[in-house]
Amino acid sequence: MANTYVDYTATAAQQYFAFNFPYLEDDHVIVEIEGVDQTITTNYTIETSPSQRINLSNPTTALAGGELVRIKRRSAPNTNLVDFQNGSVLTESELDRAYLHNRYLAEEATEGADSGLKELEGSTNYNAGNKQIKNLADGTLATDAVNKGYVDTQIALTDTNLAGFYKSTHTGNAVDNVFTLSFTPQTTDAKAYIVSIDGLVQVPDTDYTIGATAITFNTIPANSAEICVVATAAASVATVNEAQVTATGSTTARSLADRFVDVVNVLDFIPTSEHAAIKNGTTTYDAIDDIEDARDAGNALYFPAGVYKISRTLTLNKEGFRLFGESQNSSLIAQDLTQTFTGDATIDINGARLQSIENLYVTGQTVNGTDAIRITNGQLASITNVKVKFGESGVKLIAGNNQKWTNVTAESCNFGFVVDPSASDDTNGCVMQGLRAYSSREWGLEIKAGAGPNGHMHSSWDISAEGATGGTINGGIKIRGGRYNHFILYAESNAGDELDLEGSANWFFIKNPDNDVQDALFNPASLSTGYNTVGGNIYFDRGIAPERYAEVAYSVSGSLVGQGTTMFDITNTSGSTRTLTLSILSSMPAGFRFTVTKRDNTHGFTLLAPITLTGDTGTFGAFPTSVKKLEVMKINATTAVCIQSGS
């Protein structure tokens, strides 16, 4: 029995605890609850009548029951209770007090040593005497002891902590030592699994082995024993990247390294010290080297929300490669304005098939004449949900068939979208849907002349284009080559032409598909200089009703062609009489009728050469003052007649 302390397991709200060891001072009697010292007079007092006991009237934490309470003596080892003086009379009480102080200190030291960890006899190891070690901190070094909570977390034997791991549970029956696993083992290396029986971790190979479908225990588990098998692959491969995983519904296992190659996150290649600045847009870090490393590592490259600054062109030349971000408003690839940029474009799709750019915001620079996105012989390229800004061109197609651009916005570029072919027939089959060019300083869309008349054949465009406010502005859409292009468009210019068409080609325009005035071919409210055509044919493959007006201020030469008997009313609103030249090619079907209307003598036209057919030089001359409407019908390949005039 201990001489210096007594232990209790408290009951709920227990107040009194007896003790019988002697002591010299009240403050030498210490009360400890679950290892925490209480304060005398504040948390407890000592009573000597009717018996010697502790009155724990105000513990720091109310006792709920089950707490370990120790009443112990700690005889002030750092304090001298008696101070002997030279020439003084030694009394019995002083000698006894000094002796007892030394004795009590020796007893306390001896019992403290006996109750602590001691070396196992004949060994240099510690012996805990089959007792638990309490209040053990988490280990940090490989040689540190660790507590149960730390081990439980690492082993993760509960369903809550088993995300991403295979687990199989079983119940022993005191008969079987082989149990079929609920998952297919990826390896038979026993060290790749954590196995427990009733919470006791088993030793790989010694206690169990793993087969193709089952675990075999060398000792039969007891009846009702709880068996848990967790697959970690920790010891079966050199690195976790080599661990095999099988997708749900599949029977083919692949390594994690192969799976991660499918889609690469660019942040995996950028130093973590730069991640916060990239995410909040304050970075000055030149990310191009890391982005190119990430590009080369996989088949698809993902840009989480953030700003990624680069100092040279990011080239995409891998077939089937996909570059994508979180959204066109949050994942920005931008030229670094603090240094000289190298290259012609921020992103260049160059010489490969089936490449795509999706959900990104890309900037170029007008000051150095670089494009935001350039496609150089990129076949079957796709651009989807992308915003481009500040480039010489927002998107420039130099060569490449079967492009698909969907929901692409170009803002504050010199040219919103440019097609600049290097050979004939090299931009066939393009489908452009939902293109928008805002504040273009030159043209919202420019299609340049190709090497031959067949360039840009059979492409479809759905585009809204408008010029910038202020500055030098040419207009909305300029076409200098190609034929059989289809356009659904809204073109608006603050200074130049809505349309500027020239070349021996055919353009098909679809407008006002819902008979909506705001969807008219030209916007009457904002039109300033109209449109200009030189050569070529314009076909409207939907008729415009007579009450729809295309307001024109400049002359039209070339062909303005409609289907069947569709009529076009052209009104001069410039405020003065202008000259209007109309040319109708012989390819126009017989029976086609054309109507010219003037509002009044002030806003009218002087009509010159209203009909020019092959070999025909006839002219009708000026509008008579009294005539406000002149209707012409084609008879055959060389003949057209005035069938009606009105006042």
Label each residue of 4-28 as H, E or C: CEEEEECCCCCCEEECCCCCCCHHH
Residue 559 has pLDDT above 50, yes or no: no
Q: 48 versus 147: which is more confidently predicted?
A: 48
Q: Is residue 397 packed enough to be buried (19+ CB in 10 Å), middle (13-18) or exposed (0-12)?
A: buried
What's the rounded Cα separation, in Å, for the pair 539 and 524?
20
Structural domain of 104: 5-115
One domain, residues 153 and 251: yes
Query: Looking at the domain assignment, is residue 58 inside a domain?
Result: yes
C-beta of residue 412 within 8 angstroms of C-beta of residue 383: no
- Span of 88-97, 148-157, 207-216, 442-451 with lowest mean pLDDT: 148-157
Q: Which of 221, 239, 256 is the last residue of a domain?
A: 256
Q: Tell me the mean pLDDT in the region 253-267.
A: 82
* Mean pLDDT (the chain, rounded): 76
The predicted-structure confidence for 564-601, as pLDDT tens digits, reads as follows: 333 344 455 555 555 554 544 444 556 666 666 655 66
Q: Residue 11 to residues 5, 32, 69, 340: CA-CA distances in angstroms? A: 19, 15, 10, 78
**In the chain, pLDDT over 70 holds for what percent of residues?**
67
Asked if residue 106 and residue 202 are part of one domain, the reply reads no
Strand pairing partners for 231?
Answer: 166, 193
Lowest mean pLDDT among 245-254, 374-383, 416-425, 489-498: 489-498
Last residue of a domain, one of 100, 115, 130: 115
Per-residue pLDDT tens over the stretch 63-120: 999 999 999 999 999 999 988 888 888 889 988 998 999 999 999 988 888 777 778 7
pLDDT at 190 over 70: yes
Q: Quick check: is 426 in a domain? A: no
pLDDT confidence bin for 606, thresholds 50/70/90: low
pLDDT-derived band at 402 (thresholds 50, 70, 90) equals: confident
Res. 443 pLDDT band, cuts 50 70 90: confident
Compare 295 and 619 and report the one with higher pLDDT. 295
Mean pLDDT of 472-496: 66
**Sequence-ordered strand ranges (E) for 468-510:** 475-479, 485-492, 497-502, 506-510
211 found inside a domain: yes
Distance separating alpha carbons of residues 597 and 603, to the nearest angstrom:
10
For residue 254, is pLDDT > 70?
yes
- State residue 541's pLDDT score: 37
In this structure, the answer to whether residues 107 and 197 fall within a common structural domain is: no
Average pLDDT over residues 537-549: 36
Examine the pLDDT at 244 and tell me if it is beyond 80: no
Decide if pLDDT at 275 tops 80.
Answer: yes
Phi/psi for 596 (5° steps) reads -115, 130
| Residue 575 lies inside a defined structural domain of this protein | yes
287-312 pLDDT tens trace: 999 999 999 988 899 999 999 999 99
Cα 524 from Cα 577, distance rounded (Å): 19
Instruction: Assess whether pLDDT exceeds 60 at residue 401.
Output: yes
78/163 same-domain check: no
Tell which of 235, 256, 277 closes a domain: 256
Is 461 within a domain?
Answer: no
pLDDT of residue 306: 95
Residue 618 has pLDDT above 60, yes or no: no
Tens of pLDDT, residues 143-155: 888 888 777 666 5
- Which residue did the predictor score with more confidence, 328 or 191? 328
pLDDT for the residue numbered 636: 67
Token representation of residue 444: 């919202």
When comparing pLDDT for 1 and 150, which is higher? 150
For residues 480-501, average pLDDT: 66
The better pLDDT of the pair 305, 557 is held by: 305
pLDDT at 282 over 50: yes
Angstrom distances, CA of residue 187 to CA of 253, 268, 433: 12, 29, 51
pLDDT value, residue 307: 96
Residue 87 shares a structural domain with residue 187 = no
Is 617 a residue whose pLDDT tops 70?
Answer: no
Section 367-395 average pLDDT: 93
Model confidence at 187, pLDDT cuts 50, 70, 90, reads confident
Residue 175 is encoded by which pair of tokens?
Answer: 């008969």
10 and 111 share one domain: yes
480 located within any domain? no
- pLDDT for 463 equals 82
- Better pLDDT: 227 or 155: 227
**Minimum mean pLDDT range among 33-37, 186-190, 408-412:** 186-190
Number of H helices, E strands in the chain: 5, 48
- The answer to whether residue 177 is domain-embedded is yes
- The DSSP string of 390-414 is S-SEEEEEEE-SS-EEEEEEEES-S
More confident: 606 or 404? 404
Per-residue pLDDT at 216: 96
> 633 and 577 in one domain?
yes
pLDDT at 165 over 70: no
DSSP 187-256: ---GGGEEEEETTEEPPBTTTEEE-SSEEEESSPPPTT-EEEEEE--TTTSSSGGG-EEE-TT---EEEH
Q: pLDDT at residue 533 above 90?
A: no
pLDDT at 439: 85
**Measured distance between the N- and C-terminal CA atoms of the chain, rounded to whole angstroms:** 131
Higher pLDDT, 588 or 191: 191
Structural domain count of the chain: 3
In a domain, 468, yes or no: no
Query: Of all residues in the chain, what percent carry a pLDDT higher than 90?
Result: 38
